[in-house]
Amino acid sequence: MVEVTNAIRFILNDEEVTLTDVRPDATLLDWLRLERRLRGSKEGCAEGDCGACTVLVGRLMDDEIIYDSVTSCIRFVGSLHGTHVVTIEHLRGKDGNLHPVQQAMVDHHGSQCGFCTPGFVMSLYGLWMRDPDPSQAAIEKALQGNLCRCTGYAPIIRAGKAISSYGRPEGDPLRAERIALKQKIRAINDDRRVELGAGADRIIVPGSLDDFAAVYEANPTATIVNGSTDVGLWVTKFMRSIGPVIFINHLEELKRIAETDSEVRFHAGVSYSEALPVIAARFPDMAELWHRIAGEQIRNMGTIGGNIANGSPIGDTPPPFIALGARLSLRKGAQRREIALEDYFLAYGKQDRQPGEFVESVTIPLLPDGEKFAVYKISKRREEDISALCGAFRALVRDDGTVGMVRIAFGGMAATPKRAKAVEAALVGKPWTQATIDAAIAAFAEDYQPISDMRASADYRLLTAQNLLLRFFLDSTGQGQRLRREVA
C-alpha cells in the first residue's frame, strides 16, 4: 500500500511552501501574481508562446538539480511538488545589486517597454548557468520562446553575449547553495503519493510509475498531466474543467531513455530537451526538426509521450517516428501491450487507447545502414511555430538502383499523422530517379486531401508535400540544397 500525504510542497525562491488547498487547474503564474503578489512575471498570452511569464523550475534528476526555463502560465501548481521555483524576484542580490544578467540587459538597452523583459532575463539566466559563453545561435535558441515587440531583439542578443563579462555562474546563489537546496528537495521527494481535494478538485501526484498505473486504472476519467503544454491550454484558453488530475511530470522512471544497438526507447515523460542529445547522436537526421519544435520553455516541459498520446494531427514527432517504424507501448495497471505507432491514430481526436490505459514508452528502431532518411518541417515562421505540414521520408535503394522499401508519413495533411501509401506504392520497385519521382507525385492527391486553414492553403500543402519528395530525392543523391541561417 502506497503511503499518502496531503500537501504539495516545493521551494519558492528561498522559501519553503506547503499547500494543502490547491485546485487542479491553478496555474503557477496566477498563483504567483494573485496569491503571492509576486508580479514580476507577466501574462502575455496564457498559452506558453510569448515567454513573458518565464520562471526557472529546478527538479531532481539522477540526484542533481536541473533548472529548466518554463512558462508559468501553463504550468500547474499541482505539478510543482518537490521542485525549486525561481522567479525574477529572486535575481537581485541580497545587497540589492542587479544580477549580471540584469546589468547586461540594462547596459545594452535590452528593454524598451519592459513587459517581456523579466521573461527574457529568466531565459538568459537559465542559459548563462549552463552555457556562460554562448554562441549567438545558442542565445537565439534559448530565446525562441520569448517574444519581444519593441527592440527587434538585437540589443538582447548583444546583452546575452556580454553577461559573463559581468559575472560567472560559479558565484551565483543557485550554484553556491546547491547542496543545501538539494537536501531540501530530496527531503520532499520521498516516494509518497500526494493527494489533495476530492471529486473534480482532486489532485493525485503518484509516488512511482507503478503507483501511477494503479491509480489511473482505478480513476480512468482523470486527466493525465505530464508537461501541460497541451492541457494547460484546455484550462487557460478553453476554461475546461480537467479534474481529477494525475500529475506525472516528476516520475523519473518515465524519463528513462533505453538505448540498444538497434533501437531507442523513450519513456513517455522524456521532454524534448532531455531527448535532444540522444536524438542528435542516434537520429542525426532528426536533430534539425528537434530545434524547430516550439520554443525552449516548451521543449523543457513538453514530452514525447504527450506529443503522441493526445493524437494531434500536427504533432511533430509522429511523422518521423512512423517512418522509422516506431512501436508504442501502452500500459493499463500491470498489463502492457505494444502496437505500431501508426496504428495508434484512428481518426481525428480518436486513438487506440483504452480507459485507464496510458502511453508508457515509444521505441524507435535506428535507421538501418544504407537506408536514407529525412524529415522536413514547413511552417509560416521558421522557429516556434506549428507545422503547416511535416513530412518524413525513409527509403532503401537497392544496389540495382531500384527502391526496395519506402515509408513516407506526414503531419498536417490529414486528420491524423498518416502514411502516404499510394506514393509509396508508386515508388517501390522503381528506379530511384527523378523520372520516378515526377511520376509518383500525382499519388499525393490520393493519399491526402488537406484542408485550408490559417497556417496554409490546401494547395500549398499538397504542392509542398510533393516538392518535399523531390527534396528527399535530391538530398539522397547529393544534389540537395538547403536553406541555412548562418550565425556566429
d(CA 212, CA 251) in angstroms, rounded, equals 9
The number of beta carbons lying within 10 Å of the beta carbon of residue 14 is 13
Distance in Å, CB of 249 to another protein, minimum: 21
CB of 153 to another protein, least distance (A): 4
Strands 263-267 and 358-365: antiparallel
- CB closer to another protein out of 2 and 474: 474
* Least distance in angstroms from the C-beta of 80 to another protein: 20
Q: Cell triple for residue 109?
A: 538597452
162 vs 428, which CB is nearer to another protein? 162
Judged by CB, which is closer to another protein: 203, or 462? 462
Nearer to another protein, 330 or 386 (CB): 386
CB of 90 to another protein, least distance (A): 10
Cell numbers linked to 163: 553577461
Q: Looking at beta carbons only, is 171 or 478 nearer to another protein? A: 171
**Taking the C-alpha atoms of 77, 80, 83 and 87 in order, what is their torsion angle to the nearest 10 degrees?**
-30
CB closer to another protein out of 158 and 421: 158
Residue 240 C-beta: closest distance to another protein, Å: 11
Give the chain's radius of gyration (CA, Å): 23
State the nearest-atom distance from the C-beta of 104 to another protein, in Å.
9
CB of 273 to another protein, least distance (A): 17
Rounded to a whole number of angstroms, the minimum distance from the CB of residue 136 to another protein is 8
Question: Angle CA(114)–CA(119)–CA(124) in degrees, nearest 5?
Answer: 110
Q: Are 209 and 250 in contact (CB under 8 A)?
A: no
Residue 89 or residue 131: which is nearer to another protein going by CB? Answer: 89
Report, in Å, the least distance between residue 275 CB and another protein.
21
Give the strands of the sheet with 223-225, arranged side by side. 4-5, 193-196, 203-205, 245-247, 223-225
CB of 481 to another protein, least distance (A): 4
Beta strand 54-61 pairing with 84-86: antiparallel
**Cβ closer to another protein: 112 or 208?**
112
Nearest to 77 by CA among 221, 247, 211: 247
The rounded distance, in Å, linking the Cα atoms of 320 and 480 is: 20
Q: Are 228 and 29 in contact (CB under 8 A)?
A: no
Q: Is 88 exposed, middle or buried (0-12, 13-18, 19+ CB in 10 A)?
A: buried
Question: Which lies closer to another protein via its Cβ, residue 200 or residue 396?
Answer: 200
Q: Which is nearer to another protein, 108 or 265 (CB)?
A: 108
